Amino acid sequence: MQARSRSPLRSAGWWGFAFAMPAILLFLAFSLWPILNTFYLSLFKYDLLTPKEWVGVRNFARLPADQVFLRSLKATAVYVLGTYIPVWGISLALAMALNAKIKLRGLLRTLYFIPPMMSMVVVSVIWKLMFHHDGLLNTMLMQPLLGHPVDWLTDERWAPVAIILMSIWKETGFYMVVFLAGLQSISSQLYEAARIDGAGGWALFRHITLPMLKPTFAFVTIISLIQGLQAFIPQWVMADGGPNGATTSIALLIYRMAFVWLKMGPAAAVAVILFVLVGAVTLIQWRLQRAAS
């Protein structure tokens, strides 16, 4: 009896699975397992030095009354809203300007994309020097305008503003490129037909550009909000979470609770809260995008 030959498609599928297995194993080891272990650890009292002690949901129950945690939520919300709402508008405006036929368009696109290519640590150090009491911003701008320097990184009112200004400068170029790709995917025939019907610039923007950019807006909002909720480097490098916790983001609080205060259980509980926040933002944006499409 002749043996049945194996289907080429089935063989290709198994080979594909075999080649993907290393990546799957890496994901399980370095992504899925730490997430599951964080959920598990959030139910214990643990300081890395003594055995774990089961406390159930007590770590979560204490968070609503924890002023340090509530302040970190506020600092994160101020950073996310103060940074990315302006970034959306500025990046879209720049994308529309650089999508037009202007001189040196390629050079300008390259210049605006340089900041996103730089390391966040490097950018944070540079801007920290600029925000110094005797730094460039005070000596060249604030001193002549106000008559006195501004304590950018040591004043509770100004430290969040300083980090927001740096982040806007750093992030705008990346989202400009994303919006530029979305704009270039819109057919020019739509604009030509609308102009023939007498539509002006605002009408073109409102009835063609914005509706056609809905998928791009969905991508930009999801990615930016997730990135903002997980912000850590600028808050740590520029202000070390201060002054008085004004720039202590949720991610920075998790780091301090776990590795400075050795409160691994509460730190894991805050990490779970952050995981839920990121998941909720992603789900809401995905649902809104599906409803709008």
Please report whether residue 194 resides in a domain.
yes
CA distances for 260 relative to 139, 233, 234, angstroms: 36, 16, 18
pLDDT in tens, 254-268: 999 999 999 999 999
pLDDT in tens, 99-148: 887 777 788 888 888 999 999 999 999 999 999 988 889 998 888 888 88
C-alpha–C-alpha distance, residues 213 and 93, integer Å: 13
What per-residue confidence (pLDDT) applies to 100? Answer: 82
Specify the CATH number for the domain of residue 247.
1.10.3720.10
Please report whether residue 96 resides in a domain.
yes
Specify the number of domains making up the chain: 1
> Where residue 9 falls among pLDDT bands split at 50, 70, 90?
low
Please report whether residue 218 resides in a domain.
yes
> Where residue 1 falls among pLDDT bands split at 50, 70, 90?
very low
Q: For the CA atoms of 24, 25, 31, 32, what is the dihedral angle to 10 degrees?
A: 90
**Domain residue limits at 224:** 62-292
Please report whether residue 29 resides in a domain.
no
Phi, psi of 53 (to 5 degrees): -125, 120
pTM, two decimal places: 0.88
Please report whether residue 121 resides in a domain.
yes
Please report whether residue 255 resides in a domain.
yes
Please report whether residue 55 resides in a domain.
no
